Amino acid sequence: MFGIGLPELIIIAIIALLVVGPKKLPELAKSLGKGLTEFKKAADDVTENIKDTLKPDDVKKEVDDFKNSLLFGKKDDQEDHTQASSIKDEANAQTPKDSANTTHS
């Protein structure tokens, strides 16, 4: 826990007992525990929201849409995806001719 061992915790507890007093120490510990619990819940909520926001499939789709809009100057409509896919397929189908087969004399 934060790199603090048992001897350090005992020293901190003794100092807290001297500073706060034996009557208010349990009350202080209780409120500190509640505060840490609330902080942990808030941190978990933020982490969960970030994970939900940045799902890998959504990010990949957004990157593909952005790339297509830059390459083809179109917005992300269904027709545009179909046209972009057909253009990609055509580009992949065209293979450069082998230079050994095309000799010029």
Supply the pLDDT for residue 83: 56
Cα–Cα distance, 36 to 1 (Å, whole number)? 13
DSSP-based three-state secondary structure for 73: coil
Higher pLDDT, 45 or 2: 45
Mean pLDDT confidence for 68-73: 80
- Taking 70 as the threshold, does the pLDDT of residue 70 lie above it? yes
Sign of the dihedral through C-alpha 38, 42, 47, 53: positive
Mean pLDDT confidence for 72-100: 56
Supply the pLDDT for residue 38: 95
Mean pLDDT confidence for 82-98: 56
The full length of the chain comes to: 105
- Taking 80 as the threshold, does the pLDDT of residue 55 lie above it? no
- Structure confidence at residue 30 as a pLDDT band (50, 70, 90): very high
- Taking 60 as the threshold, does the pLDDT of residue 104 lie above it? no
- Taking 60 as the threshold, does the pLDDT of residue 16 lie above it? yes
Query: What is the overall mean pLDDT for the chain?
Result: 75
